[in-house]
Amino acid sequence: MLTGGRLLDPSRGVDVVTDILLSDGKVIDHGSNIGHPDDALIVDCDGMIVAPGFIDVHCHLREPGRADVETIASGARAAAAGGFTAVCAMPNTDPVIDNPAAVGFVVRQGLLAKAARVYPIGAISVGQRGEALAEFGEMIDSGAIAVSDDGKPVVSAQLMRTALEYARTFGVPVIDHCEEPTLAAGGAMNEGLVSARLGLKGIPDEAEEIMVIRDILLARLTHGHVHLAHMSTKGSVELIRWGKERGINVTAEVCPHHLSLTEDAVEGYNTNAKMNPPLRTAEDVETLREAVRDGTIDLVATDHAPHHYDEKEREFSNAPNGIVGLETALSVVVDSLVVPGYIDFGTLVDRMSCSPARLFGLPGGSLRKGSPADVTIFDPVQRWVVDPRQFMSKGRNTPYAGKTLTGRAICTVVAGEIVYTLDEQRDVK
């Protein structure tokens, strides 16, 4: 029983301070005078926003293969700490998740973790080698909710076409990591003045945009659903708009770091500002923020990518790409979009919960009667200092270390069970 919180459910246009009752893993009702059983657990949500659970459709949980860097369990706990009730795990593990047994493994590890729900994403191609299609049907039957070769682009247009057509049979989106490999090869950051000064090979915007338009056109050809991962350039936004105007079934996501940081974060060869696609310019950040506002970008995903300290502690061009994001995503979005006034909290909840659920056909994304009791309770105004040593994730590679952010997940409920509560004593101010 969650009392006194601001229930914000854009799926039904509900925004009211009220109580909400959960039971047997489902939402029962909300209202100011609803009754509750005597043995109900009462959670006081005064001052908080109570929203349908956030869903991250893009994260890397590193298991199987790199359990030293993250496990499905530690990742699920990190997700819960960030306010996520569900995450979708990308298949670029070792071995790749390209068969039903591997998918089943991920499902089971997720259940054992008893934290956020974990939905596996299956590979598009066997071994993610970009040659033969993986068995979509078998993987989906085992629990996969989408397919992607993320980590790598689908280089062959023919393969992408086939994937989009074949995926229609099962009604799942095909997620593409848009990167033209010959243009981007060897690049370590955005191509521009900063890369010229630092002597680092750059990745031009066009490396992403060429694949974006290719995928949009293939979606048009096949009437399939293509979901574009981690968009980073203003050109990409324009192309997505073009596609949507023509009724093409293209959806897109953006990561919090592309909404808040620019290539300047790389100064001093900071490997915690190295990711793919790279941080771009202020103009790109501005355009992406606007795109989240007007819905051209449908949702926010984290691309949570933990790496071992030793791997990031090396020369910039040799360091791996990626930063963690589950535990800072909400706060970065609040700081970058809500505080400056691009969106309100209703839109935030939509982009982080309702839209992911709707577009990927996942349970949740709403708190109507009978919905799964996946709830994100967060403090919209709390200021806190990011301390990676406190992360539940095994990864510590974040560019936000030491920064003060606004907004914080306070309590996360999955299937009616509390899987995370912010412990006040651990809060480092």
- Rank residues 316 and 360 by Cβ distance to other proteins and give the closer one: 316
Is 196 a binder of other proteins (CB under 8 A)? yes
How many Å is the maximal CA-CA distance in the chain? 67
Instruction: Compute the least distance from the CB of residue 268 to other proteins, in Å.
Output: 7
Q: Nearest distance from residue 183's CB to other proteins, in Å?
A: 11
With CB under 8 A as the contact rule, which of the stretches 2-10, 126-134, 230-238, 315-323 interacts with other proteins? 315-323
- Residues tagged active-site: 303
Which of 42-50, 195-203, 208-216, 252-260 is the region at the interface with other proteins (rule: CB under 8 A)?
195-203
Find out whether the peptide bond into 95 is cis, omega within 30 degrees of 0: yes
Which residue reads 């979509």 in tokens? Answer: 136
Of residues 1 and 69, the one with the C-beta less far from other proteins: 69
* Rounded Cα distance, 315 and 268, in Å: 11
Please choose, from the candidates 227, 276, 229, 279, the residue with its C-alpha nearest in 3D space to the C-alpha of residue 248.
227
8 Å CB contact between 327 and 333: no
Q: Which residue has the tokens 């949507």?
A: 244
Q: Binders of other proteins among 335-354, rule CB under 8 A?
A: none
Interface stretch with other proteins, choices 7-15, 220-228, 317-325, 366-374 (CB under 8 A)? 317-325
Q: Residue 49: beta bridge partners?
A: 6, 378
- Applying CB under 8 A, among 68, 283, 286, 313 the residue interacting with other proteins is 313
Helix count and strand count (H, E) for the chain: 14, 18
Q: How far apart are CA 114 and CA 333, in angstroms?
A: 26
Cα dihedral 328→87→337→254 (10° resolution): 110
Are the C-beta atoms of 92 and 122 separated by less than 8 Å?
A: no
Binding piece for other proteins, criterion CB under 8 A, among 85-93, 168-176, 194-202, 279-287: 194-202
Residue 316 — φ and ψ, nearest 5°?
Answer: -55, -50
Residue 151 beta carbon to other proteins: minimum distance, rounded to whole angstroms: 20
420 touches other proteins by CB under 8 A: no
* Cβ proximity to other proteins, 69 vs 292, nearer residue: 69
Please list the residues that pair with 17 across neighbouring strands: 6
Question: Binding to other proteins by residue 269, rule CB under 8 A?
Answer: yes
Q: Beta strand 226-228 with 49-52: parallel, antiparallel or unpaired?
A: unpaired
Please provide the size of the chain in residues.
429
Task: Pick one of 10, 75, 202, 235: the residue that binds other proteins (CB under 8 A).
Answer: 202
Distance CA 14, CA 45 (A): 17
One of 9, 19, 191, 253 touching other proteins (CB under 8 A): 191
If binding is defined by CB under 8 A, does position 391 make contact with other proteins?
no
**In DSSP terms, which residues pair with 35 in a beta bridge?**
none
Asked if 195 interacts with other proteins (CB under 8 A), we say yes
CB nearer to other proteins: pick between 193 and 282:
193
Q: Does 314 bind other proteins (CB under 8 A)?
A: yes
Q: Is 268 in the site for other proteins (CB under 8 A)?
A: yes
- The reply to whether 374 sits near other proteins by the rule CB under 8 A is no
Residues that bind other proteins (CB under 8 A): 185-186, 191-193, 195-202, 204, 268-269, 310-311, 313-319
